Amino acid sequence: MSTPTTPSAELLREVALIACGRREGKTRSCRSCTRKAPGLLNIAGTGALDALAAAVCGSLTSACQDCRGKAETIINATVDAPCVT
């Protein structure tokens, strides 16, 4: 009973947390990153690393090194997700 067009809440939480900056002891992202997560997941689905990094960074054109790393992590996380094609 799952809807294929809706990403799992678990994956969204994971993406939000990565974008927010995952570190030890931190289990939740801030509200702003939680809101960004569905959009980030959309971009991740296209595999556009540059666009994803820019979205994580909050910039339209370029992302910092930190956010590029986060974008890679997000793409890896979505690729591994069993429910996302």
Burial class (CB in 10 A: 0-12, 13-18, 19+), 20: buried
Minimum distance from residue 1 beta carbon to Zn ion (Å): 31
Query: Is residue 57 a contact residue for Zn ion (CB under 5 A)?
Result: yes
- Binding to Zn ion by residue 53, rule CB under 5 A? no
Among the residue ranges 3-11, 15-23, 39-47, 73-81, the one whose residues contact Zn ion (CB under 5 A): 15-23
Rg (CA), the chain: 12
Interface residues with Zn ion (CB under 5 A) are: 20, 29-30, 33, 57, 64, 67
